[in-house]
Structure 1
Amino acid sequence: MPEPSPDQSLRRGAGAPRAPRGLPEPGVGPSDARPARAGERPERRPAMGVAMAARERRAEGAPRERADEPGDDPRDHAAAGRPPASDAPPTERLGPRRERVVRRLVLALSALALGGFAYARFATFHNRTFDLAFYTRMAWGTSQLDLWDPFLETSVLGLHVSPVLVPLGALGHLFGTVPVLVFAQGAAFAGAAAALGRLGERRLGRAGWWLGALALLLHPNVAHVATYEVHPGSLAVWPLAAALERLDAGDRRGLLLACLGVLACREDLALVLLLVAPLAAWRGLGRRFALGLGLGALAWLLLFALVLHPRFAPAEGSFHLHFGPWGDTPGEALRTWLSEPGRVLAHLAQPRKASYLPRVLAPLALLPLLGGRWLLPAAPILAINLLSVFPTTPNLDSHYLTPALPVLVAALLVGLGDALRRWPRLRRPAFALLALALPAGFVLAGPSPFAAAYRPDARTDASEAIVEAIRALDAEAGAPHALQAPDPLLAHLAERPRIHRAPPPDRNADLVVLDVGHRDRYAHQETLLRTSEEPGVRAWQARTGWGVVAQRGPWLLLARGHEDRAPPDPAPREEGAQRLTGCLSITHATETARGLRLHLHAHGPCPADLALRLGEGRRPRRVDLLFGGRVSPAKLRAGERVVSEHPFDAQLPTAPGSLRVGALRSSGARPAHGDPTSVPVPLARAGGRSAP
């Protein structure tokens, strides 16, 4: 028998509402009713709480077992499937007031930890997700009635209907949009844990509160999602958990308000509420109420699917990413699933799909399966994840799983509560199993708080420098520039009217940040010239009217209206020039503190993919980009005397005439048939000596 709260026990009487179907009457257990005598109608004593029952037993002469905890009669605990107070968990021996304080402290620390780690990851530029920038821009824009999404170039009404982002975006104008979003998401998980804790306490007693809260917070998915990205589906866990708790309590008004909160987060979660409606009817909340709830959710879903999405849909949306092989529209995909069951079974038989449900349920010791029909609202989410072809969907750290977690935990609590009412002796083994499964799942599959993703590194410094350079250009112009940038930088710069992901394609922006990290990975290798990334970078650098304004780490910032110029030669030589190719000659080289400086004479623009061989031997193996890759060879002008710096970690060639330099193109061949493979170059040593 679930232990009633003190306010419930004081309000019991003839006019008190009956408990929802499936739950025993609170305050009435086997020890509360006197057996009827022969010829007498059975007596139903007024319902009372555990504390009132204990006081009555003491008034009748029953011994008082503990002065500080009324209601510790072993018969009461056996009837409710709870252990006697002497065997209760430590939290149950704190006393109700102290335990409430501990609960609130745990929830507050959980919210701060999830939000804090998420912000640490953001601040150190370790996010690789586009979703954080996408919803940051959506919250910032909708809060000022800007419904245009620059990423997908359509109205947000055709993407997701998430009114919850409007107030969060408004707060973001005061505190920063990303900090508001990540800490709001942490608070949402804490709120969901509190709601599931109340459900667990109703079903399993005071220890059930801890089971409900920790079953959610310790699931590996929560820590991964809450510390990596922000998603309206993650914000929805709070109202969804509250809806399930109010459903269990039989509270129509609370259930309705919670369902409105779910719809305010994401329109597609109406699929979940469509299956909450049958549960409401089964729980005795009334068929009319359940029908109205289901029809309201269906109307919201159809408004988006039949009106908003067709009108404002992007050229290629998430449906094509997830279900494109099944069909171009939801109708075509449904026909494929129904008409080609063999193809569907082959898809579900893939190892990652076949193991998906066991991996999701394992941290909960598979006990949600006891919940039976309470699992119904999770069915749409799990089915979509199983049928999706998107590569990360079956991952345990995917945000596509997160909205299903409150349903799974609620099913665990309800199913376990029902089982323990039938078999009270299983309470201790069941709680022991969960006490092992929950932390084991978190340790084995959850993120480590000591991971490098939450600490600054060299990439952090480089990213901060590029972001500051962009903001300085914005301040100089008096308005934010239109920008294209890689995903790790987008969330830091999303609060602007026009922002796009890095090219391709070209979105006609004023500033473009290119990721040239491949140049470090393939440094001094001929393979660099033929990587998939390098041709696009070369093309951007060779554009007329564009130039590099900042380069730090893997980032190259180009601005419209800026022209690159190669570093001029401070001490050019006229004599001794040797031809490398038709557009470029070399006079000599000098040793520097960092390596080698080549003194070059340009005869005109060179091919954009021109590079240099340098080192020893007729065909040196080391291959470097001209000017460190900062200036395109296509920007050279006839008659320019320039220098190109080349760091050397190893010792420079020392033998006379051993330093050789040659030109090559991305194919690995010489620029022209008559060009030399390499030429010997005189090297001036740092001490003033020259090697002929």
Structure 2
Amino acid sequence: MAEAVVVEGHVDEAPTGRVGGTRQRRRRAALWALVAACAAVYASYSLMRLRAFRASSYDLVIFDQAIRSYSRFELPVAMVKGVHNGFGPHFAILGDHFSPVLALLAPLYWIHDGPGTLLVAQAVLFALAIVPIWRYTERRFGAGAAYCAAAAYALSWPVAEALAFDFHEVAFVPVLSALMVERYDAGRRGWAAAAALSLLLVKEDMGLLLVGFGFFLLTRHDPEPGADTRRHRREAGEEGTGHGGWLPRGDRRAGLAYIVGGLVATWVSSRLIIAVFGGDNDYYWAYGSLGPDLPHAAVHALTNPWDVLAVLGTPPHKLGTMALLVLPLLLLPLASPLTLTVLPLLAERMLASRFGNWWEPHYHYNAFIIAVLVMASVDGAARLRRRLWPRARARLPAALPAAAMLTAAVVCVPFFAFVHLADPALWRRNDRARAAASAAARIPDGALVESANAIGPALSPRARVLLWDGQPRRAPWVIADVERLEFPFRTLAEQRRRVESLLAGGYREVYRADGYIVLHRDVADPW
């Protein structure tokens, strides 16, 4: 007969015998079905945005050009980034962000060369984070709660907003950060360390995530789990440290190793490696309200802590974003020390006084921490549950917190990017999208073109794309937009004046529809 096992208040049967094995297979099948369904929805959403001309040169074409270079065994050069930001047409994006992990996507370009490949890869990577989140939750509350927590992550607004802003290196972070936490929780320290080291290849500031995880490990001082919990882990092949676990002797050493390793990796990546690839070490310095550089800012923060608090609330949008990160999770991350893992990375953004998009709820930045926050919610719920009287704990369904998190995630859907899935124009091109496609079709293969931000992704697989901006680039072809505001212009009037100056400079109009204008001039290719 199957043996009853108690795991953090959840009673289940150990997977012994034919019945237990069948149950495990069904759970695995359901889990991977959830992963596949989410990947399909994510990919469909992203590809339909691309087809409807809702993607952008900044940043999709940047990554498309870079990974195409990788696929040719070259440095990851992104002409569109280098020219627009003044680094030159041969600028490698390793001088912008240290993200060598992107080279892993290069073989996909041998199968299909184009930005759609990146969007599908990102969809799969985001969906794969479901697996470690499910396993982490299942150890505490059982399979039912695990499906709810995984679905809450899948529907979360940070994931939705990241998918709505094209492709970024953040695609690798949810799955790797969740693996780091879950594998350490399961006692597989080697696998956790491998995930942590992989994170360091995603972006130069990912060492801050390791620093936070190290601080979390220093807090692990819970009493040793009971025999039933240890037996459950042994039967699952996960003997070792466990959830919120007790503090084995190596935890403090591991915590210190993660902290030191994360700090060193962040410094080396941001201060040495980026400069080697032609980047500007101070390009992303955004902390002028605290000091002109890191040493001065650190001293100011230590001697004037009230100024730090003032920066955290200036502008108030920062407080709104931080509230949005925990409110849909029912404030449960506040009950878990695992939340320490994300604090250094969150502080990096919220202490900034430049780059306002860093602290907005839009864009992709919040996707860097959402997987760990969901797991911290689960851990927080488990800790609160353990503090209840045994009788009260028995009356509350184990899956209740995760189910409530899923409900909150569903409630948030209409207020963030996934609401666009119900927009008919996403699935069927409107007149403006058809005009954009016609404008793109006027550009010859291999041509150098200054493109309006929204049209660049359609041209990137077959043309050399620059961003149409306010600077003369002397490209033979230009696609302008005089009807809708396009990055990096600040007003429509600026865009119209730019077109007038191009016409005055010898360009001739070859196409116009729904605000899009294609201009051409017979000039030698400047690059």
**Taking structure 2 as the reference length, what is the TM-score of the superposition?**
0.79
Residues 187 and 446 of structure 1: CA distance in aligned 2, closer, same or farther (over 3 Å) = same
CA distance in 2, matches of 1:182, 1:81: 41
> Which residue of structure 2 lines up, in the alignment, with residue 268 of structure 1?
205
CA distance in 1, matches of 2:474, 2:303: 45
User: Of residues 130, 149, 152 in structure 2, which corresponds to 1:193?
Assistant: 130
> Which residue of structure 1 lines up, in the alignment, with residue 92 of structure 2?
155
Counterpart of 1:512 in 2: which secondary structure?
strand
Q: Which amino acid aligns with 1:244?
A: V
Is 1:368 matched up with 2:333?
yes
User: Of residues 453, 459, 465 in structure 2, which corresponds to 1:499?
Assistant: 465
User: Of residues 369, 385, 389 in structure 1, which corresponds to 2:349?
Assistant: 385
Q: CA offset at residue 143 of structure 1? A: 2.7
Q: Give a deviation string over 1:184-238, Cα, whole Å, max 9, x none.
A: 1111121111111000011212223213312211211212212431111232211
Residues 368, 411 of structure 1: 8 Å contact kept: yes
Residues 125, 459 of structure 1: 8 Å contact kept: no
CA distance in 2, matches of 1:182, 1:327: 38
> Which residue of structure 2 lines up, in the alignment, with residue 131 of structure 1?
59
> Which residue of structure 2 lines up, in the alignment, with residue 642 of structure 1?
none
Residues 254 and 125 of structure 1: CA distance in aligned 2, closer, same or farther (over 3 Å) = same
Counterpart of 2:518 in 1: which secondary structure?
strand
> Which residue of structure 1 lines up, in the alignment, with residue 502 of structure 2?
540
Residues 548, 556 of structure 1: 8 Å contact kept: yes
Residues 161, 362 of structure 2: 8 Å contact kept: yes
> Which residue of structure 1 lines up, in the alignment, with residue 192 of structure 2?
255
RMSD (Å) for aligned C-alpha atoms: 3.1
Q: CA offset at residue 294 of structure 1? A: 4.0
Q: CA offset at residue 513 of structure 1? A: 1.7
Residues 165, 363 of structure 2: 8 Å contact kept: no
Residues 146 and 84 of structure 1: CA distance in aligned 2, closer, same or farther (over 3 Å) = closer
Q: Which amino acid aligns with 1:212?
A: A
Counterpart of 2:473 in 1: which secondary structure?
coil
Residues 435 and 419 of structure 1: CA distance in aligned 2, closer, same or farther (over 3 Å) = same
User: Of residues 483, 496, 509 in structure 1, which corresponds to 2:449?
Assistant: 483
User: Of residues 66, 70, 75 in structure 2, which corresponds to 1:146?
Assistant: 75
> Which residue of structure 2 lines up, in the alignment, with residue 394 of structure 1?
359
> Which residue of structure 2 lines up, in the alignment, with residue 557 of structure 1?
518
Q: Which amino acid aligns with 1:454?
A: L
> Which residue of structure 1 lines up, in the alignment, with residue 239 of structure 2?
none
Q: Which amino acid aligns with 1:402?
A: A
CA distance in 2, matches of 1:453, 1:363: 29
Q: Which amino acid aligns with 2:274?
A: H
User: Of residues 478, 481, 490 in structure 2, which corresponds to 1:512?
Assistant: 478
CA distance in 2, matches of 1:232, 1:403: 10
Residues 504 and 440 of structure 1: CA distance in aligned 2, closer, same or farther (over 3 Å) = same
CA distance in 2, matches of 1:149, 1:379: 32
User: Of residues 436, 449, 472 in structure 2, which corresponds to 1:463?
Assistant: 436
Q: Give a deviation string over 1:148-181, Cα, whole Å, max 9, x none.
A: 3322233322111222222313312421332221
Larger proportion of strand: 1
CA distance in 2, matches of 1:327, 1:265: 28
Q: Which moved more, 1:186-195 or 1:273-282?
A: 273-282
Q: Which amino acid aligns with 1:461?
A: R
Residues 449, 466 of structure 2: 8 Å contact kept: yes
CA distance in 2, matches of 1:557, 1:534: 13
CA distance in 2, matches of 1:513, 1:431: 49
Residues 510 and 411 of structure 1: CA distance in aligned 2, closer, same or farther (over 3 Å) = same
Residues 145, 402 of structure 2: 8 Å contact kept: no
Q: Give a deviation string over 1:615-671, Cα, whole Å, max 9, x none.
A: xxxxxxxxxxxxxxxxxxxxxxxxxxxxxxxxxxxxxxxxxxxxxxxxxxxxxxxxx
Q: CA offset at residue 117 of structure 1? A: 0.5
Residues 129, 371 of structure 2: 8 Å contact kept: yes
Residues 176, 196 of structure 2: 8 Å contact kept: yes
Greater gyration radius: 1
Number of aligned pairs? 465
CA distance in 2, matches of 1:307, 1:316: 8
Residues 398 and 337 of structure 1: CA distance in aligned 2, closer, same or farther (over 3 Å) = farther
Q: Which amino acid aligns with 1:511?
A: W
Q: CA offset at residue 340 of structure 1? A: 5.8
Residues 547, 561 of structure 1: 8 Å contact kept: no
CA distance in 2, matches of 1:387, 1:166: 31
> Which residue of structure 2 lines up, in the alignment, with residue 420 of structure 1?
385
CA distance in 2, matches of 1:147, 1:80: 48
Residues 265 and 367 of structure 1: CA distance in aligned 2, closer, same or farther (over 3 Å) = same
Larger proportion of helix: 2
> Which residue of structure 1 lines up, in the alignment, with residue 244 of structure 2?
none
Runs of 5+ consecutive residues of structure 2 not aligned to the other structure? 14-19, 221-246, 486-490
CA distance in 1, matches of 2:425, 2:118: 19
Q: Which amino acid aligns with 1:485?
A: S
Q: CA offset at residue 136 of structure 1? A: 1.7
User: Of residues 438, 441, 447 in structure 1, which corresponds to 2:418?
Assistant: 447
Q: Give a deviation string over 1:409-453, Cα, whole Å, max 9, x none.
A: 111112222332343247435355335323222344452121256
Residues 347 and 273 of structure 1: CA distance in aligned 2, closer, same or farther (over 3 Å) = closer
Q: CA offset at residue 536 of structure 1? A: 1.8
Residues 549 and 99 of structure 1: CA distance in aligned 2, closer, same or farther (over 3 Å) = same
> Which residue of structure 1 lines up, in the alignment, with residue 493 of structure 2?
531
> Which residue of structure 1 lines up, in the alignment, with residue 232 of structure 2?
none
CA distance in 2, matches of 1:513, 1:123: 17
> Which residue of structure 1 lines up, in the alignment, with residue 312 of structure 2?
348
> Which residue of structure 1 lines up, in the alignment, with residue 16 of structure 2?
none
Q: Give a deviation string over 1:268-300, Cα, whole Å, max 9, x none.
A: 111101222344464534555444444443343
**Taking structure 1 as the reference length, what is the TM-score of the superposition?**
0.61
Counterpart of 1:401 in 2: which secondary structure?
helix
Residues 172, 179 of structure 1: 8 Å contact kept: no
Percent identity over the alignment is 23
Counterpart of 2:205 in 1: which secondary structure?
helix
CA distance in 2, matches of 1:246, 1:84: 22
Is 1:302 matched up with 2:302?
no
Runs of 5+ consecutive residues of structure 1 not aligned to the other structure? 1-50, 54-70, 86-91, 475-479, 520-528, 563-692
Q: CA offset at residue 135 of structure 1? A: 1.6
